[in-house]
Amino acid sequence: MAAVMIGVDPRKASHTAVAISAAEEPLGELRVRACVAQAERLLAWAAAWPQRTWAVEGAGGTGHLLAPQLVSAGERVAMCSRSSARGSGCWPPGT
């Protein structure tokens, strides 16, 4: 398991990311405008946690642009369906 999990709640106008430790303690939060530079801003913010995994909610919907941007940047990304984000309904890309 990664030392830090970053959950992203993507919306049409903005995306909110929350970083939590392995002990489930909040480490930080960032809200970015949904735009071409969204991944760049999120990655700059997340640089403080090099051992990280991203969980992108709605990767097949409103998060469909962000998840591939993060994967292209070499990030570990779990995609989560909206209905199962609170449970174990996340899966790594390609499965």
pLDDT, tens digit, 9 for 90 and up, residues 9-36: 999 999 999 999 999 999 999 999 999 8
- Share of residues in the chain with pLDDT > 90 (%): 63
Per-residue pLDDT, 79: 80
Instruction: Please give the model's pTM, rounded to 2 decimal places.
Output: 0.83
What is the CB neighbour count within 10 angstroms for residue 57?
Answer: 27
- Whether the Cβ atoms of residue 67 and residue 16 lie closer than 8 Å to each other: no
- The amino acid at residue 45 is W
Query: Is the residue at 24 inside a domain?
Result: no
Query: Is the residue at 46 inside a domain?
Result: yes
Query: Is the residue at 20 inside a domain?
Result: no
The answer, yes or no, to whether residue 59 has pLDDT greater than 70, is no
Q: From residue 37, give the alpha-carbon distance in Å to each of 10, 42, 63, 71.
A: 14, 9, 14, 15
- Cα–chain center distance at 30: 11
Domain of 75 in residue numbering reads as 36-95
Query: Is the residue at 29 inside a domain?
Result: no
Query: Is the residue at 51 inside a domain?
Result: yes
Domains in the chain: how many in total?
A: 1
- Of 94, 45, 41, 47, nearest to 71 by C-alpha is 94
Query: Is the residue at 10 inside a domain?
Result: no
